[in-house]
Amino acid sequence: MAPTIAIAREFTPESELINSNYEHIEITEDDTIPVIDFSLLISGNPKERSKAIKDLGKACEEWGFFLLINHGIPENVKNSMLEYVEQFFKLPEEEMRKFQGKNVMDPVRCGTRSLNNGPGRTISRGYIKLIVHPEFHFPDKPAGYRDTAFEYCKSVREIVEELLKGLCEGLGLEPNYISKAMDLDSSFQRFVSQLYMPCPKPELASGSPAHSDHGLLTIVTDNGIPGLQTFHNGKWINLRPPPNAVMVNTCDQLEILTNGKFKSNVHRVFHTGNTTRISLVSTNGPSPDKLVSPAPELVDESHPPAFAALTMREYYERHQSSSLDGKTILDQVRI
């Protein structure tokens, strides 16, 4: 079942391990995680919509994270996607090798990642990372995966567009401000699917490192096996979303664009136990060649520009070729 191919940069030699600032921190639960009802956001009822817009802005300011319900992604599409991911990682090694990719900007990359987070603390996960917009790159195996994924990624873009409209309105900007300024007709959308192997020795478990995402908003769903944690008020919060909710992260370029008003979310995966976690992660960002800097409308004497401009492409390249610990890349452009 375990995929065995690997990409060199995905292995971090012990000598290069970063001493994370996010280790040895309390892990807790929090029942005040914001929940946004998408049906109210797109509702024709102005009162409902304006309440949803207010809650959405508050979630991005205070958490950089929220659960989204009534989002309209059909349950059967999500379930098929999860099944296809499982089938994909069962493909024979020589089939998978075709999708391996060679460098971080390749539109199709898959492999395994073993994270060596200290003596005996190794986890294994299979991943496939695909650029799905403006051009749709996707493996042709297993049969049906590509077509279902096309629908799934399109639904995600539509949701993101509506969320961004709501966020713009909340900021006092024209609803299509971000869409126009960041040329979202050719938005940079990436689809990542990860399969976290069971970790039979829970005391040794770790997961993907603490990081914030590139892009504007990330939409995450999973197979119901928990593992994702968000960093909030100095603690790690376990996320246990109800099955009908998707998880949404505010990402670095939304923090840049809003000149720091919305905070990108630091999160990680901490997977333990005898179960396999599968996640579907879609990052949604500006058009690859767009220079991303604070919106002039959100800059004034008391809010000087907090970030230097960088293209989406360059930001992504840095993000993919660095060892991340929290907001590593955002800190590089912070003024």
Ligand X SMILES: O=C(O)CCC(=O)C(=O)O
Q: Which of 37, 161, 169, 213 binds Fe ion (CB under 5 A)?
A: 213
- What's the first-to-final CA gap in the chain, in angstroms? 47
The upper half-sphere exposure of residue 228, i.e. CA atoms within 13 Å in the direction of its Cβ, equals: 30
- Is residue 118 helix, strand or coil? coil
* Residue 192 touches which member of Fe ion, ligand X, none, C-beta under 5-8 Å by kind: ligand X
**Is 266 a binder of ligand X (CB under 6 A)?**
no
Q: Is 85 exposed, middle or buried (0-12, 13-18, 19+ CB in 10 A)?
A: buried
Q: Is 52 exposed, middle or buried (0-12, 13-18, 19+ CB in 10 A)?
A: buried
Q: Which of 208, 264, 265, 293 binds ligand X (CB under 6 A)?
A: 208
**Is 254 a binder of ligand X (CB under 6 A)?**
no
Q: By beta-carbon distance, which residue lies closest to Fe ion?
A: 213
Q: Is 106 exposed, middle or buried (0-12, 13-18, 19+ CB in 10 A)?
A: middle
**Is 222 a binder of Fe ion (CB under 5 A)?**
no
**Is 272 a binder of ligand X (CB under 6 A)?**
no
User: Cα separation of 173 and 96, whole Å?
Assistant: 45
Stretch that binds Fe ion, among 99-107, 206-214, 291-299, 304-312 (CB under 5 A): 206-214
Stretch that binds Fe ion, among 64-72, 199-207, 208-216, 287-295 (CB under 5 A): 208-216
Give just the sign of the alpha carbon dihedral 282, 159, 230, 260: positive
Q: Which of 131, 269, 292, 330 binds ligand X (CB under 6 A)?
A: 269
Of 316, 329, 328, 330, give the one whose Cα is nearest residue 109: 316
Q: How far is the CB of 148 from ligand X (least distance, A)?
A: 19
Of 268, 220, 229, 267, give the one whose Cα is nearest residue 248: 220
* Residue 194 touches which member of ligand X, Fe ion, none, C-beta under 5-8 Å by kind: ligand X
**Is 82 a binder of ligand X (CB under 6 A)?**
no
CA angle 282, 123, 152 (to 5 degrees): 15
Stretch that binds ligand X, among 104-112, 143-151, 220-228, 250-258 (CB under 6 A): 220-228
Q: Which of 153, 184, 192, 254 binds ligand X (CB under 6 A)?
A: 192
Q: Which of 279, 282, 284, 287 binds ligand X (CB under 6 A)?
A: 279
Q: Which of 267, 290, 319, 327 binds ligand X (CB under 6 A)?
A: 267
**Is 171 a binder of ligand X (CB under 6 A)?**
no
**Is 252 a binder of Fe ion (CB under 5 A)?**
no
Q: By beta-carbon distance, which residue lies closest to ligand X?
A: 279
**Is 194 a binder of ligand X (CB under 6 A)?**
yes
Binding mask 299-328 toward Fe ion (x if CB under 5 A, else -) reads: ------------------------------
Considering beta carbons, is residue 171 or 324 the nearer one to ligand X? 324
**Is 220 a binder of ligand X (CB under 6 A)?**
yes
User: Cα separation of 136 and 147, whole Å?
Assistant: 11
**Is 161 a binder of Fe ion (CB under 5 A)?**
no
User: Is 264 within 8 Å of 64 (Cβ atoms)?
Assistant: yes
Q: How far is the CB of 281 from Fe ion (least distance, A)?
A: 6
Tell me how far the alpha carbon of residue 223 is from its chain's centroid. Answer: 16
User: Cα separation of 284 and 168, whole Å?
Assistant: 16
- Give the pair of three-digit tokens for residue 202: 């829970």
Q: How far is the CB of 220 from ligand X (least distance, A)?
A: 5
How crowded is residue 243: how many other Cβ atoms within 10 Å of its Cβ? 10
The binding site for Fe ion (CB under 5 A) comprises 213
* Site residues, ligand X (CB under 6 A): 192, 194, 208, 213, 220, 222, 228, 267, 269, 279, 281
